[in-house]
Amino acid sequence: MLIKHRKLPNEAPLDPKLPPILDRLLRLRGVQDANEVSTKASHLLHFKDLKGIFAAAQLLRDAVINNQTICIVGDFDADGATSTALCMLSLRDLGHQPDKLRYIVPNRFDFGYGLTPPVVDMAHQQGADLIMTVDNGISSVEGVAHAKAKGIKVLISDHHLAPKEVPQADAIVNPNQADCSFKSKHIAGVGVAFYVMSALKHALNEAGYFAERHLSEPNLAQYLDLVALGTVADVVPLDHNNRILVHQGLQRIRAGKTRPGIQALLDVASRKAHRLASSDLGFVLGPRLNAAGRISDMSVGIECLISESYEHAYSLATQLDALNRERRSIEQQMQLRAQEALESISLDENTLPAAIVLFDEDFHQGVVGILAGRIKEKYFRPTIAFALENETQADSPDAVLKGSARSIPGVHIRDVLERVHSLYPGLINKFGGHAMAAGLSLPRASLDDFEKAFLQCADEAMRGLPSAQTLMSDGPLDTNELQLETAQLLKMSMPWGQQFEEPLFDDVFEIIQQRIVGEKHLKLIVKKDEQVFDAIAFNVDLTVWPDKQIPRVHLAYRLDVNEYQNQVSVQLLVSDLAPC
């Protein structure tokens, strides 16, 4: 693994009030304007710049005023679950009758992704007058047409890249549709849903709705904890607007003003709300919520998030925790199968193709995305993992594969799939996604041809990119910066995440002590300038470590706050290490 230092622009400090180290780290991440430092809610972009937002607000306003049945159709991941929960709660608070609110999250194993005709039929059976999609819908041409034929109005709220042909919905709100001037193109589905609900509140207020019914206007900011969770869990880039949304949500959680469901998820994970970091949303809460959609039914996760009873929410959170443990077990088995397959073809650093395609009849459809991510991380290649759409059709000539793709920086995976589709029409049934993640389906009989085409197009996209992963370091820390106060400042002051990476430092340390803990983790005590620090490196190469003959080590590390037996200290979380 290569380590490169970020280059500091020559601009003057952003804000003299900022701690020098935070100012330096922000500038190293390309922040050039002091206004981009602010995480105040008042600095959020306004909903008025979202194309279609006023038509969407009018649709919802009319449905609320006329007491029509609104059906929310969500996605089966954390972004979709938080989007669905936010809309259900917001519409209730805005005065819509609970018996006129429905939600559907298609089971991925039975209905697939998005607003399909069968999902529309479900909504129709529930008496839907208006369908609102969240975190999906921009590709649902057939589903929207089916809804319109049944006399159901459709509002699409999505953030995925728009295809050439978009559905003929009554309103579409998506910052990535053509001619939308909203500046935050990386907003998550739950962020788009939050803006739609904010626009609805504005429309109802202008119509005199609250005054006529003697209703108090709800503060929709109370649901920013859901927005923060969905945004981080969906791994969208943390541009300035997303940083504000996440920070505001984190502040609510830390202050104990979160949903009972989020508090319950924190409790089953043994995480303290007042010390929560953005990384905890992605690595602790997100996987437990996602486990429902991967293994079972996302309605468990949504019910947890919308529950007003902590006891009920905790019961559901416990179920989610159990599903997540099951997911981890399935994932480990799949990783072993994948590794065996890769080793059987002698895949190593010298023979790596431009991309990796995996398929096994025993792969679990709900976990292939995680598997693709793990393999991508290990080999630093765009990876697609496939599973059978229907296990009972394993031997059928009409068997269909569902795939999940994960990519590396510099390779836009959806564009690669678009390239395959344009060069070889008919290979892919359907596809969609983002720069770093995408989903697709194709006939099993086409897998070999697809793999050849995908490798060809991935090779084109990989040209000029490094062949190995590069860690971008913020350089060494001075001894006076290697302190608990610095670690606490970095953890609490700013949300870090995709394309706004958590600070990473590197330096050479003297090794005082080294030992293996937990079978494959290296526990170190290191020294620099007479200061001693605890450090831990996970999943080290046991053929190299521990080695008492190595006196010094070059560490790439993050600062962490370690709490143990009521003692709080700074700890170095090692991302990479090399003897020196």
Q: To the nearest 10°, report the CA torsion of 186, 188, 194, 199.
A: 40
Going by their DSSP bridges, the two strands 521-528 and 153-157 should be labelled as unpaired
Q: Which fold has domain 347-462?
A: Diaminopimelate Epimerase; Chain A, domain 1 (3.10.310)
First to last CA, the chain: 15
Residue type, 164: K
Q: Does the domain made of 471-579 have the CATH classification 1.10.3720.10?
A: no
**Torsion region of 440: left, alpha or beta (phi above 0 gives left; psi -120 to 50 gives alpha):** beta
What SS3 string covers 506-547? EEEEEEEEEEEECCCEEEEEEEECCEEEEEEECCCCCCCCCC
Alpha carbon distance 374, 178 (integer Å)? 34
For residue 457, give Cα distances in angstroms to 58, 421, 432, 460, 466.
Answer: 44, 10, 16, 5, 17
Q: What is the pLDDT of residue 305?
A: 98
Phi, psi values for residue 359, rounded to 5°: -150, 140
Q: What is the pLDDT of residue 254?
A: 97
Phi, psi values for residue 173, rounded to 5°: -120, 110
For residue 365, give Cα distances in angstroms to 284, 290, 291, 372, 439.
Answer: 22, 13, 12, 12, 11
Going by their DSSP bridges, the two strands 130-134 and 153-157 should be labelled as parallel
Nearest in space to 472 (alpha carbons), one of 509, 507, 501, 436: 501
Q: In the structure encoding, which two tokens stand for residue 6, read together? A: 């970020």
Give the DSSP H or E segment for 222: none
**What is the DSSP-derived secondary structure letter of residue 195?**
H
Domain boundaries, the chain: 41-321, 347-462, 471-579
Alpha carbon distance 198, 204 (integer Å)? 10
CA 201 from chain center: how many Å?
Answer: 27
For residue 431, give Cα distances in angstroms to 79, 139, 153, 403.
Answer: 19, 9, 25, 9
Name every residue whose Cβ is closer than 8 Å to that of residue 97 and which is 6 or more positions away in sequence. 67
Q: What is the pLDDT of residue 347?
A: 62
Going by their DSSP bridges, the two strands 567-579 and 531-537 should be labelled as parallel
Model confidence pLDDT, tens digit, residues 461-480: 999 888 888 999 999 999 89
Nearest in space to 137 (alpha carbons), one of 105, 118, 120, 114: 114
Q: Which fold has domain 41-321?
A: inorganic pyrophosphatase (n-terminal core) (3.90.1640)
Task: Decide: helix, strand or coil at residue 557.
Answer: strand
Per-block average pLDDT, block size 10, for the chain (580 residues)? 85 88 95 91 97 98 97 95 98 96 84 88 97 96 97 97 93 97 97 98 97 94 98 95 98 97 98 94 96 92 98 98 96 94 73 91 94 94 95 80 95 95 94 88 96 96 88 94 95 93 97 94 95 95 93 96 86 95
Give the DSSP H or E segment for 17: none
Alpha carbon distance 327, 43 (integer Å)? 39
What SS3 string covers 290-305? HHHHHHCCCHHHHHHH
Q: What is the pLDDT of residue 468?
A: 83
Q: In the structure encoding, which two tokens stand for residue 518, read together? A: 């937990």
Going by their DSSP bridges, the two strands 505-517 and 552-564 should be labelled as antiparallel
